Amino acid sequence: MTVTSPHPVSKRYRDPELTVLSRTNATIELQLAHRSVRAFLDAPVGDDELTAIVAAAQSASTSSNLQAWSVVAVRDAARRNRLAKLAGDQDFIRRAPLFLVWLADLGRAARLAAAQQAPLDATQYLESTILGFVDASLAAQNAVIAAESLGLGAVFVGAIRNAPDRVAAELHLPDRVFATFGLAVGVPDPTESAGVKPRLPQRAVLHHEVYDDGGDAVIGDYDARLAEYNAEHARTTGWITPVLQRLGNRGSLKGRHLLREHLTRQGLPSQ
């Protein structure tokens, strides 16, 4: 008798209604297998790997080909330690051999305009700031997939926005450059208790033609599936309680409620 392993989509959802994909391939299955990695072996990420990861990142689409992002590769242990302290004291930032800080970067265009004494009025508006965030995000997610395809693991670090002035000083960020998030990268420690974290059923997120909040009806099922996953990893919550806690008050923003002021100081105003 042939034993076939379950399709990776069944781990992604734990949804009895979606256990197999009739169209799939190696790229999709790599994406379905994603998990954030927060425990790393004491092993380096080489320059060849970094070059490949950044090439994949630069292959992402970019608004008007502005390429309004940059990335700082931090390997120095003392600097990683300082960044870890600024980003919620998350120890995996110290343990990952490579910490990539993804930047929304309107600075390159600003320097170009200054050199040519050209106006740059459009960068005064929120749209240009969002463009930088979007470009940086698309590039970084390509980088994650590339890293995973090389057998590496990664986790994003939004907490890099907790103390943006100090992060900007640490990384010598010039005017109009903003540290959007970090990405800790390394060789996964296989003993870490983590797996493929189930996501909301597609009915909750996929709307046909127009938005339909009827998909909210499946959230209760999802809460139970995530609670089951969390219990396997010694955690006790489902989905609903932490979502409401995270969004319930500004304390959970850990200082990020002041970002508008930082962005204005950094030359990225939000008119």
Residue ranges in contact with ligand FMN by CB under 6 A: 34-36, 38, 90, 155-159, 181, 197
- The H helix count followed by the E strand count for the chain is 12, 4
- φ and ψ of 30, to 5 deg: -65, -45
Task: Evaluate whether 160 touches 146 at the Cβ level (below 8 Å).
Answer: no
CB of 47 to ligand FMN, least distance (A): 26
Q: Which is nearer to ligand FMN, 113 or 240 (CB)?
A: 240
Q: Which is nearer to ligand FMN, 158 or 220 (CB)?
A: 158
CB of 12 to ligand FMN, least distance (A): 9
Q: Which is nearer to ligand FMN, 159 or 263 (CB)?
A: 159
Amino acid present at 48 = D
Q: Which is nearer to ligand FMN, 109 or 187 (CB)?
A: 187
- φ and ψ of 269, to 5 deg: -70, 165
CB of 218 to ligand FMN, least distance (A): 18
CB of 113 to ligand FMN, least distance (A): 29
CB of 74 to ligand FMN, least distance (A): 15
What is the rounded distance in angstroms from the CA atom of residue 40 to the CA atom of residue 25? 28
Q: Which is nearer to ligand FMN, 33 or 114 (CB)?
A: 33
CB of 184 to ligand FMN, least distance (A): 9
- φ and ψ of 93, to 5 deg: -70, -35
What is the rounded distance in angstroms from the CA atom of residue 102 to the CA atom of residue 72? 7
Q: Which is nearer to ligand FMN, 37 or 109 (CB)?
A: 37
Amino acid present at 103 = L
* Long-range contacts, stretch 241-248, CB < 8 angstroms, 24+ apart: none
Residue number, nearest CB to ligand FMN:
158
CB of 34 to ligand FMN, least distance (A): 6
Structure tokens at 189: 């420690």
Task: Evaluate whether 35 touches 193 at the Cβ level (below 8 Å).
Answer: no
Residue whose pair of structure tokens reads 């009915």 in the numeric block: 203
Q: Tell me the H-state helices in the chain.
A: 8-13, 26-32, 47-58, 77-86, 92-95, 107-115, 126-149, 164-170, 202-205, 219-232, 240-248, 259-265
Q: Which is nearer to ligand FMN, 79 or 199 (CB)?
A: 199
What is the rounded distance in angstroms from the CA atom of residue 68 to the CA atom of residue 55? 15
